[in-house]
Amino acid sequence: MSAQPTAVLGAGAWGTALAVMLARSGVDTTLCVRRQAQFEALARDRENRAYLPGVTLPDSLRLAIEWPDAVAGAGTVVMAVPSRYARAALSRVAQSVRSDAVLVNAVKGIEDESLKTMTEMMAVLVPHARACAVLSGPGFAAEVARGKPAALVAASRVEEAAWAIQHLFASRSLRIYRSTDVTGVELAGAAKNVIAIAAGVSDGLELGSSARAAVITRGLAELARLVEAAGGRRDTVMGLAGLGDLVLTCTGELSRNRSLGLALGRSGNVKGLPAQQEGRPVAEGVSNARAIRRLAARHRVEMPIVDAVYRTLYEGEPPKAMVEELLSRSLKAEF
């Protein structure tokens, strides 16, 4: 385990869960909070009631509202801010990141405008950092924070950094594997959010378990095509960051993306969905649908489920029409 202090940027559910896990393991950890009101509530309650209710913050876990100071003392900096806010958040502290620090992306999304993955964005903003890495896989914040068993993957193009992050986050209840396929891990994590919305729509329309299984399986094929076209590895898609996370997000009751799709299927249109407001849990699949669709077009990859979700979210296509279109596509070989 690294003896370096760690700063976690973003006090949402996942950032809080990771910070809690690290602090419990004896890592010198600071949780960086963006909003003053949230900072005061966390300091007062020692619990993140908005994002992770029922989980007590360890006494050793420090809170910070002044991010540059926290980052300047950290050997590991974990980005846990939603992808739409990540660049602005990291820009605030880029000059404070140490040259020996490892930046870790814990966000499952890509930038909407640039189509960069989070580690690509981090490398541009903080080129002097020692390495960039990503931590991803099938883990719900509420379960991880409560010490329920889970397995994730830490990936970096720098083998030493992947090893360091693997050992930093590993605990008795959290098993961490490592990889060098950063592209595969990040793109699989972002794209599966969109597929999970489709799975939620299927459940909201009460199409049954067989339909959900079809969405997951064909969604996995879409993930594989995109990852391979972008230079990632197919075996990554078949592992924790791909298949594992896809199954969890498409079936788990705690999945925000599945829940959003469920609401969409039941309401029949996007106007019935809850607003994606700052200060509330974010379903990354909403913005990911737009970005992944554009990325697929760039790589000339066919992703019909992603296309269908995009049209339902942004062009007002009814969920039932989305399903009918997918079922009426021309027949073809599976592989």
CATH number for 207: 1.10.1040.10
DSSP at 329: S
Instruction: Tell me what the mean pLDDT of segment 297-302 comes to.
Output: 97
Is 148 contained in some domain? yes
Is 1 contained in some domain? no
Judge if 158 and 237 occupy the same domain.
no
Judge if 14 and 108 occupy the same domain.
yes
Is 282 contained in some domain? yes
Which of 156, 180, 204 is a domain's end point?
180
Instruction: Tell me what the mean pLDDT of segment 77-99 comes to.
Output: 96
Kindly calculate the radius of gyration of the chain based on its CA atoms and give it in whole angstroms: 19
The per-residue pLDDT for range 37-48, each reduced to its tens digit, is 999 999 999 999
3-state percent breakdown (helix, strand, coil) of the chain, nearest 5: 50, 15, 35
Percentage of the chain beyond pLDDT 90 is: 87
| Residue span of the structural domain in which 241 resides | 190-327
At residue 285, what is the residue type?
G
The per-residue pLDDT for range 119-178, each reduced to its tens digit, is 999 999 999 999 999 999 999 999 999 999 999 999 999 999 999 999 999 999 999 999
Which of 180, 212, 240 is a domain's end point?
180
Provide the Cα torsion 159, 245, 276, 327; round to 10°.
130
Judge if 168 and 200 occupy the same domain.
no
Cα 29 to Cα 223: distance, rounded to the nearest angstrom: 34
Res 1: pLDDT: 39
Collapse the DSSP code of 281 into the 3-class scheme (helix H, G, I; strand E, B; otherwise coil) and give the result: coil
Is 271 contained in some domain? yes
Which runs of consecutive H residues, i.e. helices, occur in the chain?
13-24, 36-45, 67-72, 83-91, 118-125, 141-145, 159-169, 182-204, 209-229, 234-237, 245-251, 256-267, 285-299, 304-314, 319-327
Cα 77 to Cα 8: distance, rounded to the nearest angstrom: 6
Judge if 168 and 41 occupy the same domain.
yes
Judge if 215 and 145 occupy the same domain.
no
Judge if 27 and 174 occupy the same domain.
yes
The per-residue pLDDT for range 229-274, each reduced to its tens digit, is 999 999 999 999 999 999 999 999 999 999 999 999 999 877 756 5
- What CATH number corresponds to the domain at position 113? 3.40.50.720
The band of 51, judged by pLDDT with boundaries at 50, 70 and 90, is: very high
Is 334 contained in some domain? no
Collapse the DSSP code of 135 into the 3-class scheme (helix H, G, I; strand E, B; otherwise coil) and give the result: strand
Judge if 277 and 174 occupy the same domain.
no
Is 335 contained in some domain? no
Q: Is 261 left (phi over 0), alpha (psi -120 to 50) or beta?
A: alpha
Judge if 25 and 162 occupy the same domain.
yes
Dihedral sign, CA of 73, 74, 80, 85? Answer: positive
Judge if 213 and 150 occupy the same domain.
no
Judge if 36 and 169 occupy the same domain.
yes
- Give this prediction's pTM: 0.93
Number of domains in the chain: 2
320 annotated active-site: no
Judge if 53 and 154 occupy the same domain.
yes
Judge if 163 and 240 occupy the same domain.
no
Q: Which of 108, 116, 148, 192 is catalytic?
A: 192
Please, how many CA atoms are within 13 Å of residue 199, restricted to the half-sphere of its CB?
A: 31
Cα 238 to Cα 20, 241, 324, distances in angstroms: 29, 8, 28
Around Cβ 3, how many Cβ atoms within 10 Å? 9
Is 151 contained in some domain? yes
Is 265 contained in some domain? yes
Which of 126, 159, 180 is a domain's end point?
180
